[in-house]
Amino acid sequence: MRPQRPARAVVLSVVLCACGVQSAPDNLADSGAPGASITGMILVSAAASLTDAFAEVEAAFEAAHPGVDVVLNLGGSGSLRTQILEGAPVDVFASADMADTEKAARDGLVSGEPRIFAGNSLQVAVPKGNPGGVEGLEAFADPSLRLGLCAQGVPCGDLARTVLARAGVVPSLDTEEPDVRALLTKIELGELDAGITYLTDVASAGGSVWGLDIPADLNVMAAYPIAVLAHAPNPRGADAFVRFILSDEGRSILSRFGFTRS
């Protein structure tokens, strides 16, 4: 996989001071119609597992719209929803969990219907060379190993616990990380013998992390929804960004990073 330029995270408290929150127009779909002028910043809060794919999406979208600056705010889906609920001026929410997006919709934060744009599955992730000799899910019950998952309430953590429950494994954990990239980093550095991450995150590590397949009858599929937010500062840009994600070009980028098409 060719190197990607790093995604730019944004400190939302700073952006909140710099940008006035505006209500989206009633007819958002028309405002983002193909050919409409799109300018300014588009702030996209996206699940950490989308880091590499959305960096390429950002570059492609900006190339097609020279007057636009896409800024990515990456983190755990639940934490991102909390930021939005607290008034962060976000244009687009791309989550790894439909439940978080549905909660945002119930709170009146979403404009229109969220759309599923990608899927992902899980793998057991181990450091290169597998120094702990991990062979599968049963290793997560071994207290002699250094083991980690994403925290409860984080999509990768909840899904991993579902997989382990299906396998009849009660995990013996050393750490619970706030998002999948934090977990992946500890595995890359050899601080953990194993964790459960998304397949796409193992691929993004470029060989420094090895992935062990989870049996299909135990694995689960994560569905990724995307939505324009009701108080998006740049609703026209937000709608255009969502259209791009759902386009053939956007889906092709996601596929190259291992995401399945919705």
Longest dimension (CA), the chain: 59
Per the confidence metrics, is the pTM higher than 0.75?
A: yes
pLDDT > 70: percent of the chain:
86
Which domains does the chain carry? 12-119+223-261 (3.40.190.10), 120-221 (3.40.190.10)
> Which ranges in the chain belong to alpha helices (H)?
12-18, 28-31, 51-64, 77-85, 98-106, 155-166, 180-188, 199-204, 235-246, 248-256
Low-confidence residues of the chain: pLDDT under 70: 1-36, 262
pLDDT of residue 45: 98
Q: Which of 110, 77, 117, 70 is nearest to 95 (CA)?
A: 77
pLDDT (tens digit, 9 = 90+) per residue, 170-182?
999 999 999 999 9
What count of residues does the chain have?
Answer: 262
β-strand partners of 209? 127
Using CA atoms, how far apart are residues 18 and 187, in angstroms rounded to an integer?
37
pLDDT (tens digit, 9 = 90+) per residue, 87-132?
999 999 999 999 889 989 999 999 989 999 999 999 999 999 999 9
Strands 68-75 and 40-47, bridge-based pairing: parallel
